[in-house]
Structure 1
Amino acid sequence: MYAGSLLLVAAISLLSACRRDKNNDTDTKEDTGYTTDQNLTEKIFDDAQTMSDKGAVVTGSGAFKTTACGSVTHAAGTFTIDFGSVNCLCSDGRNRRGKIIVNYTGAYADSGSVHTITFDNYYQNDNKVEGTRTVTNMGHNSAGQPYFNVMVNGTITKTDGSVITTNFTRTRTWTAGYTTLLNWTDDVYQITGAGTMTRPSGTVSVSITSPLMLALNCRWIQAGTIVYTLPSSLTRTLNYGATAACDDQATLTLPSGTVYTITLP
């Protein structure tokens, strides 16, 4: 009987350990999922605005391409950036196809002007982009930098078929490169704001607690901090770093203090 009790205790302990490991695995996968999805949506919708920034000041096919793509056509109150019906490798190393359509109330550089960005069968790196990004020019801050209020109501359908829906309000400050409008490689933006992101696993609240730094010549967010509130009401903190670094690494801190290293897509 004593031996049987020991076996029972051992079995329960083993089962509990397996459950703990399983829960830890699930937490890690969930954490990696919402952080990488948020990074993807942030970069894609910010990139769409960058394309519209360039499209506002060019005509033809000279601004976005390494091959014959990215043609810009202007009409009264609107312009269209057409990347064609098949993937085109652009000068920033991203594949694009479809159209970005911009309706505007005034010149892009004018304080108070509003640019509304929509999409027509548009894909970036085979991720389908839908929805609306509305950008209001707020003029210049005390440092002389242009800044914009941004509202995003959009959807990304990823290459694996999963769908991410975003509702964000952002302030986007153009901290470098705003004097060289035709050269995207020196552009740097600082992003603040909050919103929600809905994934197959539920809706996550997203709050930028330290400004995000996005440089157009880097694939990843370079610096800044985000706090996520999960459907369970638990919070997670994602840290891209205190100083700008173009790499695919970030850290995720759980309420327990456990820190995971995240590799960004």
Structure 2
Amino acid sequence: MKTQISKSAIELLLAKLFIVSLIMALIVFFTSCNKDDETQPEKPEIDTQTTKDESAAQSEYDDIIVISEEAIDSAYTETYPVTTISIAACATLTSDTVNNTVEVDFGTEGCQGYDGRIRSGKIIVTYIGNYRTPGSAFNVAFDDYTVDGIVVSGSISYYTVSRNEQGNLTFTTQVINGKIEYPDGYAIEYDASFTVEWTQGEATGDIFDDVFEISGNSSGTSSTGVGYTTEITVPITLKTACWNQYIFYPVKGIKVLIPSHEATRTIDFGNGECDKIVTLSVGNYKYTVTLP
């Protein structure tokens, strides 16, 4: 005897099957979401202070090297024979041709430059030969030198190496026992060794049209006591034209920074625009950092 299934029974069975299928689909969906959450955790917070401190230290000593170069030009060549420097008309240059020194004196009360920064104290440059001539050299020392209340100390050695195939002047610089001391008591220790190519602006007396390509390495201790080393993997570009906008950092290039007891990070200075923004990469994560 055949059993006939009613239409209503079939509809009820289909409805139950639909509900079961929907429940299974939801279970699979939420399980997948949970797995995604497990494999893609939120971006971890990282310490960016070491990156900021190292960049700030390099910026200060780059600034001093550019001032020292102009001071030698201004005092000892016939090209730009003046008694001050373009970055700060209130500074006074004093030359001693017997001892081969030139002194840039910003005074004790503070001298505001065209870059908006207030400097005091002295930068003392001792030289051998015209620094634009291969084989020449100069050393930089400080006498109570400050920038915006920040005390800068240590010494800088500068050696002119040669002119490359493009005719650009290349030189090496070393920062030895560098130290940046802030009014709040924090300090950055900094040593560096760089090779620099002067790619634009050498032929003029304008300090604000220079462009430099820099490679090399540095090491030191951040203001929070973190030791670090760096290596420039793609030459970084410094444009002094950015100083008119109060931007004193490189505008292009890549540097690898290795802090003690922390993950290695890569610093990308951008595409050539004057700004304080860098991209910090740590592992698979990227962070946008604004330098001080």
For Structure 1 versus Structure 2, the TM-score category normalised by the shorter chain is 0.7 to 0.9
Report Cα offsets for 1:77-110 as digits up to 9, x if no partner. 1110001112211122221111000111111212
- Secondary structure class of the residue paired with 1:252: strand
The one-character-per-residue Cα deviations of 1:49-86 (angstroms, maximum 9, x if unpaired) are 1011110011454323555x211111131110001112
Task: Give the aligned partner of residue 67 of structure 2.
Answer: 51
The 3-state SS of whatever aligns with 2:234 is: strand
Q: Which amino acid aligns with 1:247?
A: D
Structure 2: 5+ residue stretches without partners: 1-40, 76-81
Percent identical:
30
d(CA) in 2 for partners of 1:253, 1:106: 43
Q: Which of 245, 260, 263 is equivalent to 2:287?
A: 260
- The answer (yes or no) to whether the contact 2:199–2:211 under 8 Å persists in 1 is yes
SS of equivalent to 2:241: coil
Distance in 1 of aligned mates of 2:281 and 2:144: 37
**Taking structure 1 as the reference length, what is the TM-score of the superposition?**
0.84
Q: How many Å separate the matches in 2 of 1:126 and 1:176?
A: 31
Q: 1:175 to 1:120 in 2, by over 3 A?
A: same
Cα–Cα, structure 1 residues 165 and 66, in superposed 2: closer, same or farther, change >3 Å?
Answer: closer
Q: CA deviation at 1:160?
A: 2.7
Scaled by the length of structure 2, the TM-score of the pair is: 0.77
In 2: Cα distance, 1:45 partner to 1:229 partner: 21
Matches within 5 A, 1:1-265: 24-25=44-45, 27=46, 30-31=47-48, 33-59=49-75, 61-64=83-86, 69-75=90-96, 76=98, 77-153=100-176, 154-180=178-204, 182-199=205-222, 200-218=224-242, 219=247, 220-232=249-261, 234-241=263-270, 243-255=271-283, 257-265=284-292
Specify the structure having the higher radius of gyration (Cα).
2
Q: Which runs of 5+ in 1 are unaligned?
A: 1-19
| Paired AA for residue 240 in structure 1 | F
SS for the counterpart of 1:217 is helix
- Decide whether the 8 Å contact of 1:97 with 1:124 is kept in 2: yes
Summarize deviations over 1:123-175 as a string: whole Å, max 9, x none.
11221110011000012111110111111111111233211111111011111
How far apart in 2 are the matches of 1:99 and 1:115? 16
Distance 1:159 1:212, change over 3 A: farther
Aligned with 1:55: secondary structure?
helix
Distance in 1 of aligned mates of 2:50 and 2:63: 20
